Amino acid sequence: MPRDNLSVFLAERPTGDIIPGRTLKLRTSPAPEPSDLRDGEILVEVLYLSLDPAMRGWMSDARSYMPPVQIGETMRGLTACRVLASRTPRARPGDVVSCAAGWTEYAVVPEGKFEPASHYPGLRDPLDMLSALGITSLTAWVGMTHIGGPQPGEQVVVSGAAGATGSVAGQIAKIRGATVVGICGSEAKCGWLVGELGFDVALNYKAPDFEQKFKAATKSYIDVYFDNVGGKILDMALSRAKEHARFVECGHISQYNTSAPEGPRNLSKVITMRIHMQGFVVFDHAGDFPRARRELSQWLAEGRLKKTEHVLTGGLGVAELGLVGLYNGVNTGKLIVEVKKPNRNASNL
């Protein structure tokens, strides 16, 4: 009996903010069948969809690190899935895999485009593929390890600190012995960063005395700035950079939804303070993922790294509003949509 497949496609490229109901649209089509599979392919049911700041960039046709999603195409997205049928020895029905199935309930995924649970050491829950051991944690690990390189006693500032990447980046810096200031968008998030995640200081950038507090918190200047937001806070971080500071350019979320981005006026500090500013895209570092996941998994097991998940239930119908919320800071930790309630008995985890 053919099943319906609910999916979300890109209907229109946004120029500024995503417009709910116009930028993305839902559609129902027949789900792919096991009999559709060719050698090497698997048929999956999507359990969880990761919502990520990068999605706004994927909707734009500006030159970037990967081609944009095409109009009419199913929106791109990372997912944790259960295998329904398989024509490869690398996965059996019931296995959990991660892949980029996109904003859809069912998908066919070719060989080499999925990762089995065995790639996730210590995995206990399919959610971990998208959160604690997922791409945002890998992003935090790569940026801190290869660019930031915080040393014990150094001063690290993380923006977007209550987000999926920032919350892990700050925790990694703490594990490596640095003093960590997190910047986020609410007092509640500040409390969570300090109380739950062990940040030394957390500052709410919406507070009226934020600039003063930022200066006070960085009075010995900044060794490592892990940038998730760009814009004004990047500008302030430049003005407080120590000599030879490292600026880990991971994301500029404050600038994604505008066609008139603001450039940092203090960029000349790059010269006078000899700043090393390095942008990166985590997908370039796939060779490091096994090592990163081993380390993250061990920290998790030891209780040194806290999981930070923010799961929206309600299926794909709530995904677009979830994404809009992401740019407005509704989430605390990794934002994930539960697409299909996982039947844990049916999974080989």
Binding site for its own copies (CB under 8 A): 57, 63-65, 230, 234-235, 243, 249-252, 255, 260-281, 284
Give min distance, CB of 221 to its own copies, in A.
9
Residue whose CB is less far from its own copies, 91 or 282: 282
Cβ at position 211, least distance to its own copies in Å: 16
How near is the Cβ of 230 to its own copies at its closest, in Å?
A: 6
Burial 154-179 (b: 16+ CB within 10 A, else e): bbbbbbbbbbbbbbbbbbbbbbbebb
What's the rounded Cα separation, in Å, for the pair 5 and 277? 44
Q: Could you tell me where the DSSP H helices lie in the chain?
A: 54-58, 135-142, 164-175, 187-195, 210-217, 231-239, 269-272, 289-301, 319-327
Angle at 193 between CA 334 and CA 147, to 5 degrees: 70
Nearest CB to its own copies, comparing residues 98 and 139: 139
Q: Which is nearer to its own copies, 107 or 229 (CB)?
A: 229
Least spacing, CB of residue 256 vs its own copies, in Å: 8
Least separation in angstroms between CB 138 and its own copies: 16
Q: What is the residue whose two structure tokens read 């000349």?
A: 268
Q: Are 241 and 225 within 8 A, CB to CB?
A: yes
What's the alpha-carbon Rg for the chain, to the nearest Å? 20
Of 186 and 266, CB closest to its own copies: 266
Q: In which residue are the tokens 């904003």 written?
A: 103
Q: Which is nearer to its own copies, 175 or 270 (CB)?
A: 270
Least distance from its own copies to the Cβ atom of residue 327, Å: 14
CB of 172 to its own copies, least distance (A): 19
Q: Measured from the CB atom, is 16 or 263 closer to its own copies?
A: 263
Would you say 32 or 231 has its CB closer to its own copies? 231
**Which residue, 165, 138, 162, 137, is CA-closest to 251?**
165
Phi-psi region of 29 (alpha: psi -120 to 50; beta: other; left: phi over 0): beta
Cα–Cα dist 280/250, whole Å: 6
